A and B are shown apart, each in its own frame.
Chain A
Amino acid sequence: MKRNTLVITAVLFILAAFAWAGWANWEYRKQAAERLLATSAQAELVPATGSSDSPLQFLPALLGKPAPAFTLEDLSGKKVSLASYKGKALVINFWATWCAPCKLETPWLVELRNQYAAQGFEVLGVSADDIDRGDPQKLNDEKRAIARFVQEMHMPYPVLIDADSISRPYGGLDDLPTSFFVDRDGTVIAAQVGLTSKDDTERNIKKALGIVK
């Protein structure tokens, strides 16, 4: 009798274990399918962070940290380092000639730069256009295309090339425009991915300058 009870209990236990494993596997597959569906329906771009209070979900590691150091060339070949702007509030603006939203944003940056320059504000424009250093003719054409954009947009601030070489510490730069707002101490205090608005940009510039919190 006791043996029968033991056998029945064991069989029931085994059946229950299989049933549970089967259910867990089914649930997992269901969740995986839902996730795949959701992923395939998503666009690749990260939504723009509208306000300065928005969490930097795309780059939480950079917020509140020193802006990653870099030295890049400008269009004339002169080396420009981030360190040389210590004490200034900055926007490090990544853009490209092929980026239509960048064409909309740049005039805002030009206006805001001219408005706040006297208070110790500067923009560093960093072009993400391809740079072929191994092909002098191509490199020349690429630089000329960037220079044309700079001229058309009347960009009064330093424009650097080869964003690709510093894309990793700045989060990959998968989407353009991307801007990092840096305070006078060199700390990243806000960022914008994609086109937001001139008001949002100005608010973050004021924050970088310490005019508003």
Chain B
Amino acid sequence: MIACKTGMYIAVAAALTLSFALAQAPRPLLNEPAHSAPKPAAVAYLYPEQITVPAGKPTTIALHFRIAPGLHINSHMPREIELIPTVFSIPDGSGARLDAAVYPPGADITLPLDPQTKLSVYTGDFIIQARIVASAGEHLVEARLHYQACDNNACMPPKTITAAIDVIGK
């Protein structure tokens, strides 16, 4: 009788343990839908995430961005009028305003199928020197970068990403 009771307790404990283990173990990835991974953005803002600047005084900060491998974006001064330039901006009412932005010069590239036409682009990492004026206090500035990305064969529609920067004006 005692052995029977012990056996029952053990069976219940084993069943609970198995249920717990099954709940912890994830399902294999092969069963997940193929589209579950979000598309990566062509350009990502890297840093700084936080800066402290003298309140009311123009201060230059270096903003670092990264372009996905295999892609390029037009520089701030593309060679043709139709091409969309890369532009950095800070929305009004952010607690900090953009006084001026200095963009890196674009690198000249040509598409493999059109070696005659030069394009002025950014690839890899690039830095925009932004001169900002912040009011006193802490502001979460959602700066914007507008760009248009391509690879050698195709282009994506223009896009605006947000560069979130915690600006502390002292």
Residues of B within 8 A of A (CB): 2-3, 6-7, 10-11, 13-14, 17-18, 20-22, 24-26, 28-29, 37, 39-42, 68-71, 82-84, 111, 113-114, 117, 119, 148-158
Q: How far is the CA of A176 from the CA of B17 in the complex (A)?
A: 54
Q: Which of A41, A97, A99 contacts B150 (CB 8 A)?
A: A99
14 new A-B pairs (CB below 8 Å) besides A13-B17, A45-B153, A48-B154?
A: A6-B10, A7-B6, A10-B10, A10-B13, A18-B17, A24-B26, A28-B25, A42-B68, A43-B68, A44-B42, A46-B154, A100-B111, A128-B157, A195-B113
Q: Report whether B24 and A3 are in contact in the complex, using a CB–CB cutoff of 8 Å.
A: no
Indicate with 1 or 0, residue by residue over A98-133, a CB within 8 angstroms of chain B CB atoms.
Answer: 111110100000000000000000000000101000
Indicate with 1 or 0, residue by residue over A9-31, a CB within 8 angstroms of chain B CB atoms.
Answer: 11001100110110011001001
Identify which of B20, B21, B69, B157 gathers the most chain A CB atoms within 10 Å of its CB. Answer: B157
Q: How far is the CA of A174 from the CA of B68 in the complex (A)?
A: 16
Q: Report whether B150 and A101 are in contact in the complex, using a CB–CB cutoff of 8 Å.
A: yes
Q: Report whether B25 and A25 are in contact in the complex, using a CB–CB cutoff of 8 Å.
A: yes
Q: Count A interface residues, CB 8 Å.
A: 49
Q: Report whether B151 and A45 are in contact in the complex, using a CB–CB cutoff of 8 Å.
A: yes
Taking A18-B17, A25-B24, A43-B69 as contacts, is the C-beta distance between A101 and B154 under 8 angstroms? Answer: yes
Taking A6-B10, A39-B40, A43-B70 as contacts, is the C-beta distance between A28 and B156 under 8 angstroms? Answer: no
Q: Report whether A193 and B154 are in contact in the complex, using a CB–CB cutoff of 8 Å.
A: yes
Q: Which of B17, B24, B29, B157 contacts A35 (CB 8 A)?
A: B29
- Rounded to whole Å, the gap between the CB of B13 and the closest CB of chain A is 7
Q: How far is the CA of A41 from the CA of B67 in the complex (A)?
A: 11
- Rounded to whole Å, the gap between the CB of B31 and the closest CB of chain A is 12
- Rounded to whole Å, the gap between the CB of A88 and the closest CB of chain B is 27
Q: How far is the CA of A167 from the CA of B137 in the complex (A)?
A: 45
A-chain residues with CB within 8 Å of residue B41 when the two chains form the complex: 44
